[in-house]
Homo-oligomer: A and B are copies of this chain.
């Protein structure tokens, strides 16, 4: 595995791989099985797998956890190598943003709901860093976990509106055996909170069951989900919402493909989770766009 830290070197390496199918896994590091499942899939579908690890300051608000976001470069590099990553791109902030930016990207749709409403500018930062990374890596396909389903929806919009020449692959959320979605932020849970956190996925499974059983009023389903979380955790609920997907528009009645998404705040960890359901209530675990 090549570990590359500069824009110039990654450019040179990618130039050499012009004729190869490149699978790209962008991450913020502190790798867990969720990331590694993306690498596995990328390896199956490409000649060369590039992973980036970059904690992108542009997507953190002033009061968010940019400084405190967990990092472990050495372990990440070891794990990436073991998993078969060919090129690991780990640039510094100065390398990615050498001076004040003169170009701003603003996402005006799908950002006023879910995590977007409490994280203004977050998806603008995601769009900017992905634009830069896509230009540097020039992937055939880019791999994302559907745990960040709003992010996947917005990256869809970015790629399709801006005509990026690549495919997007959204893969299922990887979970602990008790159902908790794997996340770099899970390390901030206290022992008690870790046990409570099982309720997040349980509440989503409960919602799916209600939908399969015929309940079609989103407001009622949302209430039921909140009830499960409130009864089983001490976390503060940030949001529980049901939107169509990937448009992320509010709906008054269950109709078409939807996302049920939740975010809760534990003492030191804000956790998110979601499920995407087709019109008949079945789980949608893989999404592909473009190419």
A contacts, CB < 8 Å to B: 7, 11, 14, 18-19, 101-110, 127, 131-132, 135-136, 138, 157-158, 161-165
List the B side residues contacting A138 at CB < 8 Å: 165
Candidates B11, B103, B157; contact of A103 at CB < 8 Å: B157
* A205 and B155 alpha carbons, distance in the complex (Å): 50
Contacts of A106 in B (CB 8 A): 103-106
Complex Cα gap A164–B7 (Å): 11
* Of B14, B104, B165, the contact of A135 (CB 8 Å cutoff): B165
Inter-subunit contact B163/A102 (CB<8 Å):
no
Q: Are A161 and B102 in contact (CB under 8 A)?
A: yes
Query: In the assembly, how many copies of this chain are there?
Result: 2
Instruction: Tell me which of A11, A132, A135 has the highest count of chain B C-beta atoms within 10 A of its own C-beta.
Output: A135
> A97's closest neighbor in chain B, by CB?
B161
> With a CB–CB cut-off of 8 A, which chain B residues contact A157?
102-103
- Given contacts A19-B19, A103-B127, A135-B164, 16 further A-B pairs with CB under 8 A are A11-B165, A14-B165, A18-B19, A102-B107, A102-B110, A102-B161, A103-B105, A103-B107, A103-B108, A103-B158, A104-B105, A104-B107, A132-B162, A135-B165, A136-B163, A136-B165
Q: Which residues of B contact A105 (CB under 8 A)?
A: 103-106
A131 to B158, CA, bound (A): 11
A-B contact list, 16 entries, CB within 8 Å:
A7-B163, A11-B165, A18-B19, A101-B108, A102-B108, A102-B161, A103-B105, A103-B108, A104-B105, A104-B108, A105-B105, A105-B106, A106-B106, A132-B162, A132-B163, A135-B165
A246 to B101, CA, bound (A): 15
Q: Say how far A157's CB is from chain B's closest CB, in angstroms.
A: 5
Chain B residues with CB under 8 Å of A109's CB are: 102
Query: Cβ of A110: which chain B residues have Cβ within 8 Å of it?
Result: 102
Determine the distance from Cα of A108 to Cα of B124 in the docked complex, in whole angstroms.
Answer: 15
CA distance A103 to B110 in the complex (A): 11
* Max count, chain B CB within 10 A of own CB: residue among A106, A131, A138: A131
Give the top 9 A-B pairs by smallest Cβ distance, nearest first.
A102-B109, A135-B163, A104-B106, A132-B163, A102-B157, A136-B163, A103-B161, A135-B164, A102-B108
Question: How many angstroms between the C-alpha atoms of A188 and B101 in the bound complex?
Answer: 38
Minimum Cβ distance to chain B for residue A144 (Å):
17
